[in-house]
Structure 1
Amino acid sequence: MQAVITAVGADNRGLADPIVHTVTDLGANIAEIQMYDHDEERVFSMLTRVEVPESRYQELCEAMELVAQQTGLAIRTWSPDIRDRKPRIAICVTYRKETPLAVLNGIREGLIPAEASVIISNRKACRTIAEEYNVPWREVGSADGSPDDQELIALCDEFKVDYVVLARYMRVLPAASCWQYAGGRIINLHHGLLPGFPGMRPYHDAYASRMLTFGATCHFIVPELDAGNQIINQRTFSVSPGTPLEEVIERGQTENEPACLVEGVRRAVSGEVQLHFNKVVAIRSRV
Structure 2
Amino acid sequence: MNAADTTTAPDDGRRYVLTLGCPDTTGIVASISGFLAEIGGWITEAAYHSDETSGWFFTRQSIRASSVDLAAEQVRERFAAVARQLGPETEWRLTDTGETKSVVLLVSKDSHCLLDLLARAERDELPARIEAVIGNHRDLESITTRFGIPFHHVPFPKDPEGKTAAFARVRSLVDVHDPDAIVLARFMQILPADLCADWAGRAINIHHSFLPSFVGARPYHQAFERGVKLIGATCHYVTADLDAGPIIEQDVSRISHEQSPTDMVRLGRDIETLVLSRGVRWHLEDRVLVHGRKTVVFA
TM-score range, shorter chain: 0.5 to 0.7
The answer to which of 83-92 and 122-131 deviates more is: 83-92
Which of 202, 206, 211 is the equivalent residue of 2:219? 202
Q: Does 1:236 align with 2:255?
A: no
In the other structure, the counterpart of 2:288 is 273
How many residues are matched? 212
Distance 1:86 1:274, change over 3 A: farther
**Matched-pair contact (CA < 8 Å) for 1:99–1:168:** yes
Closer, same or farther: CA 123–80 of 1 in aligned 2, 3 Å = farther
- Distance in structure 1 (CA, Å) of the matches to 2:230 and 2:174: 36
SS in 1 for 2:209: coil
1:250 has 2:266 as partner = yes
Counterpart check, 1:211 vs 2:228: yes
1:193 partner letter: F
1:135-146 pair list within 5 angstroms: 135-142=149-156, 146=163
**Residue 150, structure 1, aligned to residue 168, structure 2:** yes
Give a deviation string over 1:70-96, Cα, whole Å, max 9, x none.
Answer: xxxxxxxxx772443221000100010
Deviation (angstroms), 1:240: 2.9
Using the alignment, how far apart are the partners of 1:80 and 1:158 within structure 2? 23
Structure 2 residue 117 is the aligned partner of structure 1 residue 103: yes
- Per mean C-alpha deviation after superposition, the further-off stretch among 169-178 and 153-162 is 153-162
Aligned residue in 1 for 2:279: 264
**Structure 1: runs of 5+ lacking an equivalent:** 4-52, 59-78
Change (3 A) 1:226 1:173: closer
- In structure 2, distance between residues paired with 1:160 and 1:256: 29
Query: How far apart are the structure 2 equivalents of 1:80 and 1:128?
Result: 38
Distance in 2, matches of 1:248 and 1:227, equals 20
**Secondary structure at 1:211's aligned position in 2?**
coil
Cα distance in 1 for residues equivalent to 2:106 and 2:170: 9
Deviation at 1:263, TM superposition (A): 1.0
Correspondence list, 1:7-18, <5 A: none
- Residue identity opposite 2:221 in structure 1: H
Cα distance, 1:191 vs. partner? Answer: 0.7
CA RMSD of aligned residues (A): 2.5
Deviations along 1:10-37, one digit per CA (max 9) or x if unpaired, are xxxxxxxxxxxxxxxxxxxxxxxxxxxx
CA gap 1:131/1:106 in 2 versus in 1, 3 angstroms:
same
User: SS at 1:280's partner residue?
Assistant: strand
After superposition, the Cα gap between the structure-2 partners of 1:190 and 1:118, relative to the gap in structure 1 and judged at 3 Å, is same
Q: Which amino acid aligns with 1:238?
A: R
Amino acid at match of 1:230: P
Over the matched positions of the two proteins, sequence identity in percent amounts to: 28
- Report if the CA contact (8 A) 1:195-1:229 is conserved: no
Q: How far is 1:142 from its partner?
A: 4.1
What is the CA deviation profile of residues 46-81 of structure 1, one whole-angstrom value per residue up to 9, with x for unaligned ones?
xxxxxxx934989xxxxxxxxxxxxxxxxxxxx772
Q: Distance in 2 between matches of 1:189 and 1:198?
A: 12
Matched, 1:120 2:134: yes
Structure 1 contact 222–278 (Cα < 8 Å) conserved: no
In structure 1, the partner of 2:186 is 168
Q: State the Cα distance separating 1:226 from its structure 2 match.
A: 4.6
What TM-score do you get using the length of structure 2 for normalisation? 0.65
Distance 2:268 2:94 in 1: 31
